[in-house]
Each structure stands twice: as structure tokens, then as C-alpha cells.
Chain A
Amino acid sequence: MSAPRRALLALVALFVSAGCGSPPPLDKRLETLGSWTATMQLAKERHGAGAITVTYATQLRDAADEAFQQASTTIGSSARTRTDSAYAATALDSLRNAIRQLEAEIGS
């Protein structure tokens, strides 16, 4: 096989493995959950200060809820050990609580 052909095959293999290979690592998933938890906390704080509308806060809540649902069904595939599973469960709990607190703040 010629060198350019080998390079092309290696590039294709890289794209395929990056594009449709294993699920994102657990730390990325936890980062995403943590990001949404912090978003909910900031939204609650900003709504309390009268800076954002209920309409907008509801949209943020819906987006976080979607992220929560997605993570709760798929995060198991990224958690390889019991410790990983415990981290994942804690992160999911934190996000669920933050969503509830925002809901209580905006009264929905």
C-alpha cells in the first residue's frame, strides 16, 4: 500500500473513531451536568433579583431538564466502576435539585 493511501486510511480511521466511537468520557459528562447545575443556580439568583423573565427562566429549565433526561439514560455507559457510578448519581441529584429550586423560584 502506498504512503499517501496509508495516510488517508489513518485519517479516515481517526475521523470514524472520533465521530462514532465510544461515548464521551465520564469527566466530560460530569462537566456538562455541573454546567447545567450552575446555570440553574445562576438563573434562580438572577430571577430572584428581577433580572430575567419567567418566560426565559422556563426555557432554561426546559433545556436543563432535557440535558438531565439525556444524561440519566446514557451516563451509565460512561461509568465503568462503582466510584464512577457514585459520582454520576451525585451529579444527577445535584442537577435535579437545582432544577426543582428554579421551579420553586419561578412558581412553575
Chain B
Amino acid sequence: MKKWGELALGIVTSIGGFLEVGSIATSAQGGAEFGYQLAWVLLLGTLSLAMLMEMTGRLAAVSKRTYADLLRERFGFRFFVVPLVAVFVVSLLVLMSEIGGVAIALQMASGIDFRWWAIPIALLGWFLLWRGNFSIVEQGTAMLGLVAISFAVGALVLHPTWPTLGRALLPSLPSHDHARYWYLAVAILGASISPYLYLFYSAGAVEDEWTIEHLSVNRVTAGAGNVFGGGLAIAALVTAALVLAPRGIRVEHYEQIALLLATPLGRTGFVLFIATLFVTCFGATLEIVLAMAYLLAQGFGWSWSENLKPGKDARFSTSYSVLILLAALPIALGADPLSLTNISMVLTAASLPVTVVPLLVLMNDGDILSSHVNGWPSNLALVVMGLLSLVLLVAALPLQLLGGG
């Protein structure tokens, strides 16, 4: 019975945790400019993330160590510095974007400029991390994040053309604006496969004291949760394709995205959109800042756990305290949240090789995983993801320059 409870909770966590500022913004932009056509990218991103989470969760459950911890131990600290710096920098940018997303939600609701909200949001986040525990961060925000299901309701009310949507799940070439199409494809992938997601998941498995007994929970959570969560991102894309694309509206400002749900669901949709943006971005803020603090603590061998009193893991607690305030500063100074989101999603995609490629080595290490090493299908999937991540690394910067405007 306890296991079923954990299973349900895991799925809810994944659904609630999937949508955040990056996936909402890039899905809306993709739907507004290319209709359903970029749905295949969301499917690819969702399946990739599900596999990466299953593997890092399995690694943590069997070894009782986090992915970052094993990365440093297996490859040495000199190698570990590369993913540490890459993931740290892109996660900081994504963290700024998430704080920007929460601030925009509050601006839409109150009329008070988003810049004024950045520091209060950081302080509220810090307070919850300082006083709360892992369950509050993981489950509390994810439960509230279920409000994101409103995107699915919005899409259904608009009656999408299912055969066209089905065809869009297979890759296709654009009929116009190739650079913009591929730029958005990279940004959507960056939003779907953020390294912080599987680093946080892996640390969470250790925080929740997973063992080999939890492997089935891990498989179902990573699989079903992400498929449902990815479905919500596709629903956001479908809604944009049906509300914004026919009118020729491109998403140039966050403020335009609220029209997505206000059109099919009226005032309720408008309120649900603001709630979704607030809750999902705030939840992601807490997860990212914790993932960054975990990465630092595990990399440098500090004591760490969100379940410990701050005094027991002072360097870990200091890290998240400084990081959340640091990330709020650019937003408080007026950085444009949508531009920041787009740039951070593309750079996230470019950073993937440093965490995806070493995973192939770890997932085949019998000393760590014994009989739970990857089979050939998982290895094949990981090789494909590794190659994809290398393509993204090469393509991200030119596409940012050619299609980002």
C-alpha cells in the first residue's frame, strides 16, 4: 500500500513538476509560429527526459549515491569541474528565468511591475528552503502544480484536429523560416531536458532513501509522470496553435501568453493561467536552487540534505541562500524574462553532452550497478541522446544568432 502511495505521489510530482517557465514559453512560441508542427520535439524531449530520469533514479536507488557524486568519484574531480561549471552556469540562467516567470505572474495579477517582485520571491523561496524539508519542496509545489492541467482542458475545449496533431508527432521540415524553426526546436529540447531535472531527481531518490525495492516505482514515476507532464506541454503548444497562430500573433512578451487560456476558458482560464505560471515557476525555482546546492555540495564533498537543520549542513544551506538572491538580482534590475528564458533554454540544450555522455559509462559499470546495468535498448537510447546532445552543442549558438530574434 505504501508503495502505491509512493507511486501515485511520484507521478503527481512529475506531472506537476514538468511544466515551468521554459516549457510554457517555448511551447507557446512554437505553437504560435508553426502550429502543431513542433509537437514531435516535445515528444522527443519528454521521452529523453523520462529515460534520463529512470537511469539516474536507478543509479541512485542501487548505489545510494547521487549522479553528481558518482560522476566525481568515477571520473575524478578534474573532469567533474566541466559538468559542474556548465550545469551551474545554465542552471543559474534558468533559475533567473523561473524567478522572472513568478514575477510576471504577480505583475499580471497585481499590475505592479515585475521588477519589484523579484527580491520578495527570492526571500519567500529562501524561507521555505530554510524552514522546510525535502517533502515540502518536492510534493507541496508539485501538488499545487497540478493546476497546469488547465492547459489540457483549454486544448480540449478548442477541439484540436487529432489526425493533424498525430502526424505532427513525427519529425517534419518547416515550409518557412527554417532558422527560427530549428532555433525553437533547440529551445524546446533545452526546456524539456534540463540537467537540473535529473540531477534533482537523483538527489531526491537519495533524500527519500530509495533502495532496490524502489526500482519499479522509479520506472513508473519516470515513465508515466513525464509522459503526462509532456502531454501538458503539448497541450500548451496546441492551445497556442489554435488561439494565437490563426490570428498571426507571435509571442514577443510574456504578457501575451495569458491570452492562451483566457480565450477558451474565459475569466477562469485567465486566473488559472496566472496560477499555473506562479506555481510551476515557483516550484521550479525551489528545485533548481536545491539542485545547484546539491551539485556544489556533492562536488566538493560537503554535508548536504534538505532534511537536515541548516546548521548541520552550513555550506549547503549557505549555497542555496546566496544563489536564490543572486538569481533574483538581474530580474530586479529589469532583465527581460522572455529573452532570458529563450537564451537559457538554448544554452541548456548546448550543455547536455557533459551530463548525458558520462552517464553511458556509469550505467554500464557493474561495480556500481551489478545486475542493474543498462541493457542494449537503454544503451542504444543513451547513445542516440548523446549524439543528439552533441548536435545541440554545435547548433545552439549559431541558431541563437540566426533564429533567436
Contacts and interface: CB of A to CB of B under 8 A. Distances in A.
A56 B249 contact: no
A46 B253 CA distance: 18
A14 B395 CA distance: 13
Contact of B256 (A28, A39, A50, A51): A39
A56 B109 CA distance: 7
Contact of B266 (A14, A28, A41, A51): A51
B163 interface: no
A60 B263 CA distance: 15
Interface in B240-283: 243, 247-250, 252-253, 255-256, 258-259, 262-263, 266-267, 269-270
Main secondary structure of the interface of A (DSSP, over half): helix
A58 B109 CA distance: 12
Interface string A29-57: 00110111011011100100111110110
A86 interface: no
A24 interface: yes
B401 A34 contact: no
Given A39-B259, A51-B269, A52-B258, A59 B107 contact: yes
Number of contact residues on A: which range applies? 20 to 34
A32 B253 CA distance: 11
Contacts of A107: none
A18 B183 CA distance: 14
A9 interface: no
B250 A35 contact: yes
Contacts of B250: 31-32, 35
A19 B401 contact: yes
Contacts of B247: 38, 41-42
A38 B248 contact: yes
Interface in B60-106: none
Nearest to B401: A18
Contact of B267 (A11, A18, A50, A63): A50
A93 to B, nearest CB: 17
B108 interface: yes
B266 A49 contact: yes
Contact of B398 (A14, A31, A49, A58): A14
A62 to B, nearest CB: 9
B259 A63 contact: no
Contacts of A49: 266
Contact of A56 (B108, B263, B266, B398): B108
21 contacts: A15-B401, A18-B401, A31-B250, A35-B248, A35-B250, A38-B247, A39-B249, A42-B247, A42-B263, A46-B263, A50-B267, A51-B269, A51-B270, A52-B258, A52-B259, A55-B108, A55-B109, A56-B255, A56-B270, A59-B108, A63-B255
Q: 3 closest A-B pairs (Cβ-Cβ)?
A: A18-B401, A55-B111, A38-B247
Given A39-B256, A51-B267, 7 more contacts: A19-B401, A32-B250, A35-B252, A42-B243, A42-B249, A53-B270, A59-B108
